[in-house]
Amino acid sequence: MPTISKKICLLGDFGVGKTSLIRQFVDKQFSDEYLSTVGVKISRKLVSWSSKEPQNVQELQLLIWDIEGSNKFRAIAPTYFQGAKGAVIVGDVTREETLNHLLEHINSFLAINPQSYIIIALNKSDLIEAEYLEKIRKMYGFPKQEAVLNTYLTSAKCGINVDEIFQVLANYLI
């Protein structure tokens, strides 16, 4: 049986950790250096998902689109988003302005793909004291946005909730 492929996009401001999240998910690696993305990079990763019967495990190929963080973003956004079934929209918990831009990213993605699913990743959670984290997560739940499945605190550095965000999204793409 041929593997089903689905396109997902990573969105978010410059430096929030989009490339790092993909790298941690696909290669299980992290680098403290800024991993500059030139143009668009597409990574592939097979994920398993099972319907109710355990013998029914199938594989889904995620085509994960990453884009360089620059002001060229606006000009190429529509082509970048085209055909995507889901998005991970990323903010950096240490930079509030990147969190304030999450809704803008949600809207620009949904303008091109109204029938899609979104996961919010509040990344770099390793840099913030645990007592503040849950409060931040609740502030960025976007309950009015039906497309938003859930908000996760992630760390591309420590691998926290990285597999989870991609797996949860994958489960909705079928």
Residue 23 phi/psi, 5° resolution? Answer: -65, -40
By CB under 5 A, what part of segment 31-90 binds Mg ion? 37
Q: Please tell me whether residue 98 binds Mg ion under the rule CB under 5 A.
A: no
- C-beta of 32: minimal distance to ligand GDP in Å? 5
Nearest residue by C-beta to Mg ion?
Answer: 19
19 is an interface residue for Mg ion by CB under 5 A:
yes
2 touches 32 (CB < 8 A): no
The two structure tokens encoding residue 139: 């502030």
Write each residue from 102 to 131 as x if it is in contact with Mg ion (CB under 5 A), else as -, in one continuous string.
------------------------------
**Residue number, 95 or 172, with CB nearest to ligand GDP:** 95
What are the φ/ψ torsions at residue 121 (nearest 5 degrees)? Answer: -115, 115
**According to CB under 6 A, which residues from 49 to 108 bind ligand GDP?**
69
- The sheet with strand 148-153 has its strands ordered as 40-50, 57-67, 4-12, 86-92, 117-123, 148-153
